[in-house]
Amino acid sequence: MEYLKIIGGKDISGSVEISGAKNAALPLIACTILGKNEISIGNLPNVVDINTFLKLIKMLGGNFVKDSTTNSVKINTSMINNTTATYDIVKTMRASILVLGPILSRFGHCEVSLPGGCAIGQRPVDLHLKALEQMGATIEILHGYIKATAPEGLKGAKIVFDKVTVGGTENTVMAAALAYGTTTIINAAKEPEIVQLCEVIRDAGVKIEGIGTSKLVIEGTGQQLLDIKPFDVIPDRIEAGTYMCAAAIKNQKLKIEKVNPNHLEAVISKLEEMGFEILQDENSVTILPTNEIKPVNIITTEYPGFPTDMQAQFMALATQANGTSTIDERLFENRFMHVSELLRLGADIHLNGNTATVNGGKEPLEGTDVMATDLRASSALVLAALVANGETNIHRIYHLDRGYEDLEGKLSKIGADVKRFTE
């Protein structure tokens, strides 16, 4: 097993380039199943989850050629002949569920193992299934597999989500693209990743209204496959936010390049509340140091609100603030697993249900051995280690590798002392 050794207290400076967004790339790779042509995707992040998803495409009978030097891939799914996504691949990554909508709308049947992945609560897929049932699919769960059939193809329907679901919106949009008739999605998620998915499908000839709003209207092609144009994956707003927090926790200047500042508004606004000045231009943001890191109150909510995927990083940052911060996690239960590890480093954090109270600035953090529990929790430990006295060893970093490209390389480049070892 690999681990990271971080020596705290080193200054950071310079700039860091952000990779493509994992959470945008995964549904976009799934959407290639709707295409009849070879599809070129640029700005693909080199992270484990992407490689797993490409493997899944191959298992289904598609093929791909990946070019790591240019961070691009060419995918051809016109030959897909297998409609089963098996447990051995789905268990490692929840996003595998995203093949359900496109395979079902293309072939009229699909079998996908129930998902595994992160340990951050239930995140049930029932909203995905209910939407597909409303579009005429028959769904049963047998032996841990979702078996879905729609022998006549999916039919357009009006779908009202009881709560905002990113994966459910993505699956339904892809299913609707090849359905017969018009699908209306009410209470759709509005994340930038969904906007990009809709734009790629629209540019392939599907009429979609309401992109970027909570109401989407999609005219399906009646199982006619799409001609999907080449595109680049949008920058990763969570990776960008994580490096902004790295600069903030060190209270040093850092330029974050290759980002879309519009996607970072909620994060920028909270950093400004904490006293940091943020300079923005078209595709970069620069965070400047402050005289005093102020405490902050955070409530996680759906986009454009404060992202749950940034909650752990801000908790690490709040340990350095001058006063008491509160973080209210409204989206996922079980998303405070990093708290026990931050306590090991000497943080003063109290949990009450879904609210964490962080008393900052009293005692410096002290390096020790900690363990990553999920993807974003592990980045909070990295941030805390940057300011802790002495040496911190972060174990189980395979969680990090699922979503951060070359983390130790990028941190080393800006001055941090981070090395990877095998235990």
Q: Is the pLDDT of residue 118 over 70?
A: no
Give the separation between CA 5 and CA 411, rounded to whole angstroms: 12
pTM of the entire predicted model: 0.95
- Residue 70 predicted with pLDDT over 90: yes
Residue 376 tokens read as 């974003």
**The predicted structure's pLDDT at residue 122:** 53
In eight-state DSSP terms, residue 183 is E
From residue 126, alpha-carbon distances to 57, 163, 417 in Å are: 24, 11, 44
% pLDDT > 70, the chain: 98
Q: How many CB atoms lie within 10 A of CB 6?
A: 24
Q: Are strands 391-395 and 369-371 parallel, antiparallel or unpaired?
A: parallel
Predicted confidence at residue 123, as pLDDT, reads 55
Please state, in angstroms and as integers, the Cα–Cα distance from residue 36 to each residue in 72, 76, 341, following that order. 19, 8, 48
Closest C-alpha to 129, from 84, 159, 153, 156: 159
List active site positions.
118
Residue 69 burial by Cβ neighbours in a 10 Å radius (0-12, 13-18, 19+): exposed
Q: How many helices (H) and strands (E) does the chain have?
A: 14, 24
The whole-number pLDDT of residue 128 equals 93
- Mean per-residue pLDDT, 401-416: 96
pLDDT digits (tens, 9 = 90+) for 206-261: 999 999 999 999 999 999 999 999 999 999 999 999 999 999 999 999 999 999 99
Tokens of 393: 């060893």
Give the pLDDT score at 301: 96
Element (H, E) at 409: helix 407-413
What is the rounded average pLDDT for all residues in the chain? 95
- Does position 116 have pLDDT exceeding 60, yes or no? no
Q: Give me the pLDDT at residue 412, please.
A: 98
Closest CA to 97 of 141, 58, 53, 48: 53
Is the per-residue pLDDT at 274 higher than 90? yes
Q: Are strands 158-160 and 145-149 parallel, antiparallel or unpaired?
A: unpaired
Residue type, 379: S
Q: Identify the pLDDT of residue 119.
A: 44
